[in-house]
Structure 1
Amino acid sequence: MSVERANTLTAGWASVSPARVFSGAAVYPLLALLASVAAGRAAQELLAVAPTPLELPIRGALGVWTREGAPLTLDWAARCDPRLTGDPAIDRPLLDAWAAAQTGAPVPPLPAAASGPVDEDGLVLATALAVTADWREPFTDGVLRPAQGPWAGHRLASLHRRGTDPSALRVAATAAGPVTLLTVAGAADVDVVLCTAAGGASPGAVLAAAIAGLPSAAAADEGPCISSALVDAEDSTPELVVKVPRFAAAGTHDLLANASVFGLAAASAGASFPGIGPDGLRIAAAAQTASAAFTATGFRATPVAPAPMVPLPSTPRAARRLRVTARFDLPFGYLTVHRPTGLVLMAGWVDAPEEAR
């Protein structure tokens, strides 16, 4: 169910704002986390988009940071690593290093919006994924010379490959017309599906249609960007020739520009998140930075999506309470005491606590 919902989010994103590279799967866990701690209209909108958690099948992480002094529930405080200082020059490298460490790959820097709200004693939530695929069958470098279309007359750096598995090429009947789907299989469990349609369909329509058509597409030898012919050969085994331009892409996306797609309209205006803390919060910014490269040997992509939150101005409360915090952040000792007699059974000194993962 979560996979279907995440795919729906990606298709919806593609429909309203297609881009060179983006990842709904990288945003979904963050939305599901917010949905689990929100209340009121914000909860309704977030649950409509991300009602259940998504267990990512690839390497990735969801991180939560806060500034000292932000009022948090005990449960939420336990999730946070309160390292942020409020100085973007210090905090941004920390967040970038976290993303690289969690994905095991170089990643694009987090969008600048990730570091602004920490100056306001807010929170920063971020997701990072590492999408990698080494091809089962590598490509060879070549040149592609399109005879028609917007690339006509250009010499494009391209990748070529010959294989004997025509079933990797399929066509789906969709609302946008026939959509060609080519599956480039990875050596492990990640594939890349290339998709195209006849002229006239918008990029958003093609991407959304491709996502919807993945389950029903059928093997075909005709369709958009497909040609077939009988040729002389040593045997009758069908052959599949693939020619595709090399490509690399990068981009930064403002998720709040289409807040309703992500269920963030109410949350960005100001909402109650009782699972985080007693004060109202708003999503101050939500962005994704992503990069991808399709090469002769494989595919590499690293989407990173932060969503800083800042406190709303709060109304005065009816009472005040004394909050006393004991923070053992210097070497300390301990005693084990037999309660009935007061006998100290053990004692010790802690000067090398366990490192956090």
Structure 2
Amino acid sequence: MRRQSSTTRSATRSTVRAVNDLTAKWAATASADRGTVFSAPGVWPLLAFLADGATGAARAELSEAVGLPADEAASGARELLAAMDRVRGMDAALGLWTRRTLTLRDAWREGVPVDALGVLTGDPAVDAAALDAWAAERTGGQIPRMPARPDKDTEFVLASALALRTAWLQPFDDGLMVPETGPWQGRSLAGLHRSTSLLDRVGVARSATGSVTELKVLGDTGVDVHLLLGEDHMGPGAVLGAGVDALARRIPVVPGTHMPYGEAGPGLEVRRVRAMSPRPATLHVATVPFTSTARHDLMARHELFGLTTAKDMTDAAEGHFPGIAVEPLALQRGEQAATATFSALGFRAAAVTVFMAYGAGLPEERYVTTDVNATFDRPFGFLAVHRTSRLVLAAGWVTDPEPYREDEHH
């Protein structure tokens, strides 16, 4: 897809709400003990196009997962793909490969805006090489292989690829972090530090399950990363869900400019300090760089993604997708590979999602000012968010921070 303009037109609110709701539901299935990253915008349009061509129970289940009526799903998917492609620093692509013996319905095929339209040979090695090359090219090498492998029975492949890069408007300084409490206590970790007088970059969301500190790190492409630190008892579902609810303005968020003194939220302290000269109130941020990678078997979460009936070939002589092809089809595989890297200079992420189907010192301090300290020194969540539409492009949970390597800093 080609970049159309530097002015980003956003997807409609209903589409953004539906995709972000899928992000929250997906997050609710994540383990607190293992880091992850995933992209609902990678899977959502594929589910929408499948719903458009499905029938019976498969159509109803896919429609429920998408969060839109099935007859509106394809237009929502086209809208989402076009909107993402207009985000600066982001590439969104769709690919479709079929066997020559599969007869696609013209109405469905014409409604799917594919960048690549290929032919499956039936030779798994040849087909896998072509799919891998597409995934690597469309993600700039961040995802080098298609997450699922075709076999000799694969007749239909529908895939999406998303790649995102942004640089921080204000970079971080590299340093050392040694947490004093929590799961990372006593570890020498690579740290990122910066200070700003913009206190509204931090806030505390009040959800039904607890408070979540939200730090917005602004990128130069209109994409920001929200770091989310919940209370000790909150897992990724509760923390990331609160982040999504805050985006939708469903829960209150107290901005940094209105914080009370003391412990204002998880990892957040507001205090009066003495200074040698007058200066504005300052937000001091400490966090960790991270790289998260994950593979997701979408079929294992078939209820979440509306795939329960679609993957069942028994008692389905006509298949579940008569609106896609003349011949009967049932889903064979569904997987996503995702990666995200948060560094001192910026953020990058990518995801490839695929569905395959088969037949069937102490000087005098005279002045007083305010310091707000936001410290992310235990497992936390993140959302990569398009600033204008509030669409969550990627989400994840950080449990394995990078160790501090002294030779890299001295």
Q: TM-score, structure 1 length as denominator? A: 0.82
**279 and 17 in structure 1: CA distance in 2 versus 1, 3 angstrom threshold:** farther
- For 2:93, what is the secondary structure of its paired residue? strand
Partner Cα separation in structure 2 for residue 188 and residue 126 of structure 1: 25
Deviation at residue 15 of structure 1 after TM alignment:
0.5
Paired position in structure 2 for 1:347:
none
Partner Cα separation in structure 2 for residue 160 and residue 17 of structure 1: 28
Paired position in structure 2 for 1:149:
182
Deviation readout 1:196-221 (Å, 9 max, x if unpaired): 11111122221122211233423144
Paired position in structure 2 for 1:258:
301
Paired position in structure 1 for 2:290:
247
Larger radius of gyration between Structure 1 and Structure 2: 1
Amino acid at match of 2:238: A
Structure 2 residue corresponding to 1:89, chosen from 125, 137, 141: 125
Amino acid at match of 1:17: A
Amino acid at match of 1:61: A
- For 1:21, what is the secondary structure of its paired residue? strand
Task: Give structure 2 stretches of 5+ with no counterpart.
Answer: 1-13, 314-318, 361-410
Structure 2 residue corresponding to 1:33, chosen from 37, 49, 55: 49
Partner Cα separation in structure 1 for residue 215 and residue 347 of structure 2: 15
Q: Percent identity?
A: 39
Kindly report the root-mean-square deviation, in angstroms, between the aligned alpha carbons of the 2 structures.
1.8
Larger mean CA deviation between 136-145 and 81-90 belongs to 81-90
8 Å contact kept, 1:108–1:289: no
1:211 aligns with 2:244: yes
Deviation readout 1:79-109 (Å, 9 max, x if unpaired): 6723322233222232222223334453242
Larger mean CA deviation between 244-253 and 101-110 belongs to 101-110
Paired position in structure 2 for 1:323:
none
Larger mean CA deviation between 257-266 and 88-97 belongs to 88-97
1:232 aligns with 2:245: no
Partner Cα separation in structure 2 for residue 114 and residue 10 of structure 1: 25
Structure 2 residue corresponding to 1:190, chosen from 207, 223, 241: 223
Q: Give the aligned length.
A: 309
Amino acid at match of 1:232: R
**21 and 171 in structure 1: CA distance in 2 versus 1, 3 angstrom threshold:** same
8 Å contact kept, 2:229–2:266: yes
- For 1:195, what is the secondary structure of its paired residue? strand
Partner Cα separation in structure 2 for residue 108 and residue 98 of structure 1: 9
8 Å contact kept, 1:108–1:304: no
Amino acid at match of 2:39: S
- For 1:308, what is the secondary structure of its paired residue? strand
Choose between structure 1 and 2 for higher RCO, CA contacts under 8 A separated by at least 6 residues.
Answer: 2
- For 1:142, what is the secondary structure of its paired residue? strand
Structure 1 residue corresponding to 2:206, chosen from 166, 173, 176: 173
Q: Give the structure with the higher percent strand.
A: 2
Structure 2 residue corresponding to 1:115, chosen from 150, 158, 161: 150
Task: Give structure 1 stretches of 5+ with no counterpart.
Answer: 313-357
8 Å contact kept, 1:123–1:308: yes
1:73 aligns with 2:86: no
Amino acid at match of 1:198: E
Partner Cα separation in structure 2 for residue 133 and residue 176 of structure 1: 32
Paired position in structure 1 for 2:59:
43
8 Å contact kept, 2:120–2:155: no
Structure 2 residue corresponding to 1:10, chosen from 5, 23, 36: 23
Deviation at residue 258 of structure 1 after TM alignment:
1.1
1:299 aligns with 2:299: no
- For 2:321, what is the secondary structure of its paired residue? coil
Larger mean CA deviation between 289-298 and 51-60 belongs to 51-60
